[in-house]
Structure 1
Amino acid sequence: MIGKGIRKVDSESILSGQPIYTDDLVFHKDVLIIKLLRSPHAFARIKNINIDRAKKVEGIVEIYTYKDVPQVRYSESGESYPDPTPYDRMLLEPIVRYVGDEVAIIVGEDEVAVEKAMKLVKVEYEVLEPVLDLIKAEGHSSIIHPEDDIFCPFDFGFNGKKNIVSRFKLGKGDVEEEFKNCDLVIERTYHTQAQAHCMMETHRAYSYIDANGRIVVISSNQSAYHMRRQTAKAIGLPVSKLRFIKPRIGGGFGGKNVALAEPYVAFVTWKTKRPSKLIYTRKETFAASTSRHEMKFDVKIGSDLEGNIKAIDINSINNTGAYGANGTVVTMEAAQNVLPVYNKVPAIRYRGKTVYTNIVSAGPLRGYGATQGTFITDTAINELSSKLGIEPVEIKLNNTIRKGAEGGILKNPIKSLNVEKCIERGKELIGWDEKYPNKEINSTKVRAVGMSIAIHGSGIANIDSATVIVQMVEDGTYILLTGSSDLGTGSDTVLAQITAESLNTNMDRITVYSGDTDACPYDTGAYASCTTYLTGNAIVRACAELKDKILKIAEAKLNIPALFLELKEDRVCHKEDESIYVFLSILGQESVLGPDSEVLMANATFGMPESPRPFIAGFVEIELDKSTGEVKVINYVAVVDCGTVINPNLARIQVEGGITQGIGLALYEDVKYSDSGRLLTDSFIQYNVPSKKDIGDIIVEFQPDYEPTGPFGAKSIGEVVIHTPPPAIANAVYNAVGVYIRDLPITSEKVYMAMKESKDNKD
């Protein structure tokens, strides 16, 4: 089953339009409709709320304000416990911290009544001066979180009175001393913008009380267990009072790893004892959920004249918006999932801080800080290569680590990393030697190539864990129970392949049931690129135990030592004489009969001690119009080492999707605000997402290096694939017209003005 492009196990149900998503599964006819009244101000204190007229609207059941909700702070983040983020949220508060922050919960029998009541709620605000610039956040006179009851599970330097969420350092060697030994030192400032998730299915949740008096929440989420924990905290109930079920998910990209709709439906259902649902509009999903973290970096890098990098020094500021969410870890990952590939460099220093501002809260988005960190690090190295007159390919090959590397800022030895083959194959596929640096097409258009490399991780070492249950049912087939979440990536299919391979059977005999906190054991969920590596390893362990149990029972049945028996697709047979066998269906039926029966099942847990590194080399060919600055992607080549490729078809789609999102970040997507802090890009009319015609031809190839700690040698692929487009395209723009754009996105206007400024300076 390994290495086969098996179609997704849920493909037929999706293509046939079966009711499998959250809103399809609302089976109560008397479900209450929830809408959230949101703040029109970026920063304000609520002086008074008058809900009298609104409550008189026919069909309104209840309206809740900050006076009615539990005074409990929680984190919306879907990280593993204990959360590396401040508990700085409440369901409702007398302070609103961004345009779109929740002011009141309006509950009614139908949407018409709720919308009418929302217009009748009168709120009197004391408007405060907002903090809208990440540079000015620290020490600003406006304190976004003045409260004293914020709880931080870890001491990461939180200082709410100065708008500081966290501080972080990473490094090795003496940076200042190494800079003295450099022949060339460059200093640059880079800026990466916020980016919206743009998943097709907006945020939504539905809840009801079951026959046992417990709250059941069905929601489109990436981590049922984490969402249950945060929701329980928000409404002041123990987790045992809640059950979370994750159906199919219409896309997430990290955005559905935060508890947004879930706490509100659980609260309303608990208070009213009636089923309820909350569905975000597209505008709310843009303006009141989360986005990628905006970050600013000051970078200093130096080398000798041969291109041997001696020192890298980075200072970063991370804008987490109104709430801490995942900001602390994103600041860390901008270094931890980027700089280890340059562990050969004698001295590295990274200093980062996370700040509050009065804009939409930032959260996890594919790449999770490493995308930002890769852009600035790789672009700085590309700029260094330009100054030295050395091709960036040579600089990367000379300064990157190889398999076997350890020590320095590496937390674990590198056991697999196919750097040379990925880079060399990428050069061949893009035609680097023929096209570098550029070729004139006509008097106004030029084509050029650029490149980038990146690494990531495969889950969070020493934190993430997954438990699975594998059971053989009476008919001799198997069921896999896992708490993991398939975001549409096909992870259920990949896990089924790993199960089938481990039990020497086929996919038709595997049923996957996932994402139910009552029926499925604990799993970290779909984030940090962990599912294949983390949950896959747990499956291999559980299947090995189950296989031993089956062979032991077959041993007694056939009166042949288990050593001479083999587990096959639907039977256990003698290794050398397959005419001697017993059907698994017989063993399954007998396993549930009589006083000595034993259900054939096994469970196993895998808590990862290390996080293997996938690697990608990205090469781009662009066409640039010098008369307008317009940049078009012609070809994009991605060569990936994700270890053993479990399912090439699904892996290829992951690469293509990640590259597309990376091109969007590089050229098109930009979250913009008005001077008062109102989000301007709150629909697909204003927010520019690339279509198929904008991304050129994407060419994908795999150069796998077997990862000995992974399931059948596999590593992750989900996030590393988004990292390379921004620095590769920036490098290609330079190779085309001699200017570097250091402020994403690389728009036509920026390119044209940079060209004009460069020409004016020469004149």
Structure 2
Amino acid sequence: MKEFTVVGKSIPRRDALDKVLGTATYTTDVKLPGMLYAKVLRSPHAHAKVIKIDTSKAKALPGVKAVLCHLDIPKNLFCSSAAAYVTTPPVKGVVDQYIFESTARFIGDEIAAVAATSLAIAEKALALIEVEYEVLPAVFDPFEAMKPESPTLHTEPEKKEGFPEYPENNIVGNKIPPVIGMGDLEVGFKEADYIFENTYIVDAVKQAQLETHGAVADINSEGKLTIYSPSQSLHPTKRIVAEALGLPLSQVRVLNPPYSGGGFGGRIGCSAKSEVITAALAQKARRPVKLILSRQEDFIASDTRHETFATLKTGVKKDGTLTARFIKVIMNGGAYASWSQDAPGVLASTAMPVYRCPNSMFEGWTVYTNRTSAGAMRGFGNPQGMFCVESQMDEIAHALNMDPLEFRLKNISRPGDAVPVPFPLVTTGLRDCITQGAEKIGWSRRVEPDRQKSTKLRGMGMGVGSHVSCSHPFHVDYSTCQLILQQDGSILYSTGVPDIGTGTSTTLPQFVAEVLGVDISMVKIVFGDTQSTPFEVGSHASRTCYAAGKAAIAGAEKIKKEILEYAADYLKLPEDDLDIAKGMVYSLSNDNVKVSLGEIALQAHLKTKQFSCIGTVPPTNALPWEAHFAEVEVDTETGQVEIIQLVAAHDVGKAINPAIVEGQIEGALSMGIGFALTEQYQIDENGRQLYDTYHKYMMPTVMDMPPMETIIVEEHEPSGPFGVRGVGEAGLVPTAPAITNAIFNATGVRVNQIPVTPDRLLTALKNQKGISTVREDEEIYAE
């Protein structure tokens, strides 16, 4: 195996010093000459038609330079997420938004906006806008929304023949339910000795990234827009803005400034419409415009994770072998499509490959309601799906009197297995993840406590999962980069991938440095700018190291070949006798022959030669693997759950930068704790968001973090660059079920809805039956 010099090393992050010193620039820091400040007027109603709007008083206020509403903007439907612009045929992307709406579909919907010389004037101007609404019936529950008598929130999608059972009202986008699976369910259930059927509920949660949504738009004398944005996908965002405003793509530039204060899926596309709103205001005022959402606006007017309702029916033999599984999911999409057309299929494609089940089928869809739109959030459907799958796996193991760990080892997928995803399962380190994680947490200590002797009970649980390493072939997903050898021997590496806090501005240059045999300091990176980088779909779907890393290697190999071809002529040696190391081109056969890359570049320059190339490769995909373990202590008097320790074992293929990989996993674990125990995005009976600030929304803090152990497993993935698999999202996937399964082990009570808040747990303990399993065919129950 090749010995790496740069790859696999925990090289310090390039953004670390800027962030520690407070000199890093974010969108909120951008200040341009003559800049105006924007504020947005939002609907106070969950569903209402704008009957009349009068902006004259706002326009007359001194200091106000632009006021816009639905009467003033192009009537171009668009989607503020990138979803509609990366959807592959024959499926069509859903475009269902205008910059400003004449019908509000949730509390917080954008009705109008102003740009003024100060925030105070902008806020005063908002109060001067007079709006007359016709309040319409609202619906918040997806099951109610599907009924024919419920209000239809958007144009009804056409029904596809052959699916007469498909509910017609308020379904997002897809004309048929996204059915995914393999085998024959009827045969599989007939082969089963036992059949388990369970229903699970996952509450909506928020990304709650540190930097609120926002953008700054500038416009030049030719009408070209330059937009500073924290977007995770700059090139697709460029297209969103262009289509919303009816502009050629060449008239829009989108760039990070260069840092983004977190994304977690909420910025795959626009940052809560900020880019299109500021662009429209800049066009009107002919001046730069800045819009930064307040924390409250961020909570109520940007995408959440999908509230999910799932029913799993699973057949199993007496020896624990799975024979059949049917998963049916309904997801709450909220007011606009965002990523909702894709969410059910992603849930299926990530939840179903984990276990060998020859007869498996999934059916699901997402429903419009008058809630804040749901979209992408770290894991995108997978955390919901695996909470359900792993909860039921634990219940089945308990019912069969099997060790949950052994039950999983018996059924996990293996290399070469048929899986219901459109790419092969080539390698997997899941077995190693399970065994190493179990050893680290001390799984052999796991017992059922004596629940009569104490009100504080300890338990241990586990969960496993997979994910993806990019979004191919479900979406357009490819990376392109440019490499230039500069005259000092350094490499200028340009990529459209942003660095949203994941360390990509460090790890991607490691790929280039490794291939070219140079020190990492000699690779200079330009990133996150549509004007100076070739097309790049962005940072999402755990794809950056896997997909952008492949392009980086491809580009580095091409420019290396160009350099060696030139050096062969320059040194009068055969090309195959040359290589590059430590920034020097050297002879393999003669230690005395070597020349620096700087000298090669300069000599080529003097002969009108520039070393430059584009790196791009056809997309592929691969499954990462993970197993998480939790030990908890439950106070049965208060319902409080204390996490004693967490262990996370991940097969990442190859850790390009182990410290960054560990940081990604540990950050995901902290989000998983909130997902399992405290975080929930709820509304009142009128659709008003209840938790709209950090003070109300119960995210875990540093004081809630238990001891965490990260184990990196490296099972080489042949399709990945240097064997890499995706890692960014996988750490969130099995955390919640590991915790809730530990609660079950401690208490004997199952709560089938997360978060497991104290009141939910106390109710379950009081009932002493949980909210749990239905059985058919045999005298067996998962308690």
What TM-score results when the alignment is normalised by the length of structure 2? 0.93
Q: Measure how far apart 1:207 and its partner are.
A: 1.3
CA distance in 2, matches of 1:566, 1:34: 56
Q: Measure how far apart 1:679 and its partner are.
A: 0.3
User: Any residues of structure 2 matched to 1:13-412 within 5 Å, and which?
Assistant: 13-28=18-33, 30-79=34-83, 81-83=85-87, 85-147=93-155, 162-165=169-172, 166=174, 167-210=177-220, 213-246=223-256, 247-259=258-270, 260-342=273-355, 344-405=356-417, 407-412=418-423
Q: Measure how far apart 1:437 and its partner are.
A: 3.9
- 1:653 matched to 2:663? The reply is yes
Query: Which of 546, 561, 569 is the equivalent residue of 1:556?
Result: 569
| 2:201–2:309 CA contact under 8 A, matched in 1 | yes
CA distance in 2, matches of 1:129, 1:508: 60
SS in 2 for 1:592: helix
Q: 1:296 to 1:579 in 2, by over 3 A?
A: same
Q: Measure how far apart 1:73 and its partner are.
A: 0.3
Q: Measure how far apart 1:570 and its partner are.
A: 2.4
| 1:146–1:160 CA contact under 8 A, matched in 2 | no
CA distance in 1, matches of 2:282, 2:181: 49
| 1:144–1:357 CA contact under 8 A, matched in 2 | no
CA distance in 1, matches of 2:450, 2:645: 15
CA distance in 1, matches of 2:770, 2:440: 37
Query: Which of 631, 646, 662 is the equivalent residue of 1:621?
Result: 631
CA distance in 1, matches of 2:215, 2:727: 29
Runs of 4+ in 1 over 6 A off after TM superposition: 155-161, 439-442, 759-762
CA distance in 1, matches of 2:544, 2:613: 19
What letter corresponds to residue 8 of structure 1 in structure 2?
R
Q: Measure how far apart 1:81 and its partner are.
A: 3.3
CA distance in 2, matches of 1:40, 1:331: 30
Q: Measure how far apart 1:592 and its partner are.
A: 2.6
What letter corresponds to residue 591 of structure 2 in structure 1?
E
Answer with 272-281 or 648-657: which moved more: 272-281
User: 1:549-599: CA deviations, max 9, x gaps?
Assistant: 1111111211111111121222212123332122211221233334xx221
Query: Which of 518, 531, 540 is the equivalent residue of 1:518?
Result: 531
For residue 413 of structure 1, what is the aligned residue in structure 2?
424
CA distance in 1, matches of 2:167, 2:242: 25
Q: Measure how far apart 1:439 and its partner are.
A: 6.9
- 1:690 matched to 2:700? The reply is yes
CA distance in 2, matches of 1:290, 1:336: 22
Answer with 571-580 or 514-523: which moved more: 571-580
Q: Measure how far apart 1:51 and its partner are.
A: 1.8
Q: 1:402 to 1:161 in 2, by over 3 A?
A: closer
User: Any residues of structure 2 matched to 1:413-562 within 5 Å, and which?
Assistant: 413-438=424-449, 443-462=454-473, 463-562=476-575
Q: Measure how far apart 1:180 and its partner are.
A: 2.4
CA distance in 1, matches of 2:701, 2:9: 29
CA distance in 1, matches of 2:163, 2:15: 42
- 1:710 matched to 2:750? The reply is no
| 2:764–2:770 CA contact under 8 A, matched in 1 | no
| 1:635–1:696 CA contact under 8 A, matched in 2 | yes
What letter corresponds to residue 173 of structure 1 in structure 2?
G
User: 1:223-253: CA deviations, max 9, x gaps?
Assistant: 1101111111111111111011112111111
CA distance in 1, matches of 2:599, 2:321: 66
Q: Measure how far apart 1:415 and its partner are.
A: 1.9
**What is the root-mean-square deviation in Å for CA atoms of aligned residues?**
2.1
CA distance in 2, matches of 1:238, 1:590: 41
Q: Measure how far apart 1:130 and its partner are.
A: 0.5
| 1:504–1:568 CA contact under 8 A, matched in 2 | yes
Gaps of 5+ in 1: none
Q: Measure how far apart 1:9 and its partner are.
A: 1.1
Q: Measure how far apart 1:686 and its partner are.
A: 1.0
For residue 14 of structure 2, what is the aligned residue in structure 1?
9
What letter corresponds to residue 117 of structure 2 in structure 1?
E
SS in 1 for 2:342: helix
Query: Which of 606, 610, 613 is the equivalent residue of 1:602?
Result: 613
CA distance in 1, matches of 2:158, 2:191: 45
Q: 1:397 to 1:357 in 2, by over 3 A?
A: same
User: 1:53-72: CA deviations, max 9, x gaps?
Assistant: 22222211121111111101
CA distance in 1, matches of 2:412, 2:212: 40
Q: Measure how far apart 1:4 and its partner are.
A: 0.5
What letter corresponds to residue 725 of structure 2 in structure 1?
K
| 2:308–2:331 CA contact under 8 A, matched in 1 | yes
Q: Measure how far apart 1:435 and its partner are.
A: 2.5
For residue 3 of structure 2, what is the aligned residue in structure 1?
none
Q: Measure how far apart 1:411 and its partner are.
A: 2.2
| 2:415–2:428 CA contact under 8 A, matched in 1 | yes
SS in 2 for 1:465: coil
CA distance in 1, matches of 2:68, 2:624: 48
Q: Measure how far apart 1:25 and its partner are.
A: 2.9
Percent of matched pairs sharing the same residue: 33
SS in 2 for 1:250: coil
Q: How many residues align?
A: 753
What letter corresponds to residue 473 of structure 1 in structure 2?
Q
CA distance in 2, matches of 1:156, 1:13: 55
Gaps of 5+ in 2: 1-5, 772-780
Q: 1:496 to 1:487 in 2, by over 3 A?
A: same
| 2:148–2:168 CA contact under 8 A, matched in 1 | no
User: Any residues of structure 2 matched to 1:607-756 within 5 Å, and which?
Assistant: 607-608=618-619, 610-756=620-766
SS in 2 for 1:256: coil
What TM-score results when the alignment is normalised by the length of structure 1? 0.96
CA distance in 1, matches of 2:453, 2:647: 25
| 1:202–1:282 CA contact under 8 A, matched in 2 | yes
CA distance in 2, matches of 1:55, 1:79: 35
Q: Measure how far apart 1:210 and its partner are.
A: 3.6
CA distance in 1, matches of 2:143, 2:681: 17
Q: Measure how far apart 1:471 and its partner are.
A: 1.0
